Structure 1
Amino acid sequence: MSTVFETALKGKHIVIVGGSSGMGKATAKMATALGAKITIASRSAAKLHAAADEIGGGVQIAQVDTTDETGVRSWAGVLGPVDHLVISASSAAHGAFADLPTDDLRAMFEAKFIGPYLAAREVLPVLVKGGSITFFSGVLSRRPSAGATGLSAVNAAVEALAKGLALELSGRARVNCISPGMVATEAYAAMSEEAREGMYAQVGGSLPVGRVGEAEDIAQAVIMAMTNRFLTGSVLDVDGGHLVRD
């Protein structure tokens, strides 16, 4: 990464909710290498400790369930000044519109929308003026697919939240949203290797770039969103051309 990013992030405190795995962890690694001070938060203590060992650089950890409003408030109250907040924690529930259990839909909305909403709201009082908040949505927000209508709607809600907050927090903080396409992360670990690699090959072959994403591809976009002082209210599509493919 260039010295521009090093200058912008060195010594800055970056909080990454969802930083124990996948794209959040990749962002934590990249920002640590640029001299930032990192706090990663997630629900799993085991994953947090493993990620901290992998990331290095004195990363701080916090076990937080973002759907627990009281817990989020208590955690945010002891964070100290925060320069940038990144919320990559996510949840997905797939199923046909008529078949997806309502409880699954509610759980996804709680984890992917309510949780980030609460985290941003409770961290805001300690967010340094001129800092940033970066949410995560997903490509299905504007290119839905059968069997993922609920997920598409939740992603769209996250993007609307980011745009609304960018306006509401004008002069206080910049707010943006990263919209990834398919990225090879631990999210697909439950699949067999054969099925997983077949899916990556099929989806990647349909994209203009010819492959699915890697966590580092998304981390680069997050670094840019945090450091570009002219960027707010934007949805950054880091999807390998998914939105423009045939």
Structure 2
Amino acid sequence: MKVLVIGGRGVIGRAVVALLSAQHEVLVGGRHDAEVRVDMTDPASIEAMYQAHPDLDAVVVTAGHVPFKPLQQLSEDDWQSGLHDKLLGQVRLVQIGARHLHAGAVFVLTSGLLEREHIHGGSCASVVNAGLAAFVRSAAQELWGQARVNLVSPGVVAGDARGADAFAGFMPVSREQIAQSYLRALTQPLSGKVLEVFPEVTR
């Protein structure tokens, strides 16, 4: 398969690229420092990317920004930033990609554990992740027979110090374990699935 990994220079993206490269042709996409330049917040950039690479078999997204702030400090711009980038950016990649790529193409998106669990300052992320899960389940039905769409929901990444205090008490998961779920979402005959990669939280 010819696979584009958007966000392939990131913490999770590097592990996904390393795993997939063993069996597939992998291109790294992103706004900067990437083989394939694409800005997922810009529909015109996405259109141009697909026109330049119509032979892609799959698109994996491990990119997406969302602000982490206490609820009462989230501005309208903060909400627009998270929705426009991580949520609608991935929605655009599927919606536009389905018009350009061949039948049987695969899209693997990324959300996160805040769809189900919650932390102080994570309200925007929770909304975005829940929206992605709903979108994938719906899009899989609409694109049945044309394309597969799945979602990986990673937990706290082992060794990643970003947000460590906010996620204190959550069991971390290795990059390699997370990458295996992207491989599963890509290669197994699944569509509309949310693959969670985090231990159950004791309640």
Deviation at 1:186, TM superposition (A): 5.9
Work out the CA distance in 1 between the residues paired with 2:62 and 2:180. 14
Alignment of 1:163-182 (within 5 A): 163-182=137-156
- Give, as a single letter, the amino acid of the residue that structure 2 aligns with 1:30: L
- Give, as a single letter, the amino acid of the residue that structure 2 aligns with 1:245: T
In structure 2, the residue matched to 1:134 is 108
Work out the CA distance in 2 between the residues paired with 1:93 and 1:136. 16
Deviation at 1:121, TM superposition (A): 2.0
Deviation at 1:199, TM superposition (A): 7.1
Work out the CA distance in 1 between the residues paired with 2:166 and 2:77. 27
In structure 1, the residue matched to 2:6 is 17
SS across alignment from 2:149: strand
Q: Residues 66 and 81 of structure 2 are in contact (CA less than 8 Å); yes or no, is this contact kept in structure 1? A: no
SS across alignment from 1:174: strand
- What's the C-alpha RMSD, in Å, of the aligned pairs? 2.0
Deviation at 1:187, TM superposition (A): 7.6
In structure 2, the residue matched to 1:160 is 134
Work out the CA distance in 2 between the residues paired with 1:138 and 1:234. 14
- Give, as a single letter, the amino acid of the residue that structure 1 aligns with 2:12: M
The unaligned stretches of length 5 or more in structure 2 are none
Q: Does 1:107 align with 2:81?
A: yes
How many residue pairs get aligned? The number is 203
Deviation at 1:130, TM superposition (A): 2.1
In structure 2, the residue matched to 1:240 is 199
Deviation at 1:184, TM superposition (A): 3.5
Alignment of 1:210-221 (within 5 A): 212-221=172-181
SS across alignment from 2:105: strand
Work out the CA distance in 2 between the residues paired with 1:70 and 1:120. 14
Work out the CA distance in 1 between the residues paired with 2:155 and 2:96. 29
When the two structures are superposed, what TM-score results if normalisation uses the length of structure 2?
Answer: 0.91
Q: Residues 10 and 62 of structure 2 are in contact (CA less than 8 Å); yes or no, is this contact kept in structure 1? A: no
In percent, how many aligned pairs have the same letter? 28
Alignment of 1:1-246 (within 5 A): 12-34=1-23, 36-45=24-33, 48=34, 61-184=35-158, 188=162, 196=164, 202-203=168-169, 206-207=170-171, 212-229=172-189, 231-241=190-200, 244-246=201-203
Query: CA 1:185/1:72 → structure 2, altered by over 3 Å: closer, same or farther?
Result: farther
Q: Residues 21 and 186 of structure 1 are in contact (CA less than 8 Å); yes or no, is this contact kept in structure 2? A: no
- Give, as a single letter, the amino acid of the residue that structure 1 aligns with 2:129: N
SS across alignment from 2:88: helix
Query: CA 1:154/1:19 → structure 2, altered by over 3 Å: closer, same or farther?
Result: same
Task: Identify the structure with the greater helix proportion.
Answer: 1
Spell out structure 1 runs of 4+ moving beyond 3 A. 184-187
Work out the CA distance in 1 between the residues paired with 2:150 and 2:26. 19
Work out the CA distance in 1 between the residues paired with 2:28 and 2:139. 23
Highest Rg: 1 or 2?
1
Deviation at 1:135, TM superposition (A): 1.0
Deviation at 1:174, TM superposition (A): 1.4
The unaligned stretches of length 5 or more in structure 1 are 1-11, 49-60
When the two structures are superposed, what TM-score results if normalisation uses the length of structure 1?
Answer: 0.76
SS across alignment from 2:131: helix
